[in-house]
Amino acid sequence: MESLRNLLRALYMVLGGLMVFSGIFWALQGLGIIMWPAESFMLADRAWTLYGSIWAAIGAGLIWVLRGSRR
């Protein structure tokens, strides 16, 4: 049972890291700093800066909660 708990914890940590990475990427696309891919609908759209920041914060919160729940 403990190994399953550790596996799920690791998977959620990876998920949190991916959320942080993708959120920062979305925010930078929304700011027009990253202009790739050229046909993306997110480029220089300030709404995606907000969405990306929120998504990255949720991912960081997930990582923070999981790091504190060691047993």
**Whether this model's pTM surpasses 0.75:** yes
Is 25 in contact with 43 (CB distance < 8 Å)?
A: no
Residue 8's pLDDT is: 94
With a cut of 70, list the residues of the chain below it in pLDDT: 69-71
Q: In angstroms, how far is the first alpha carbon of the chain from the final one?
A: 13
The 8-class DSSP code of residue 4 comes to H
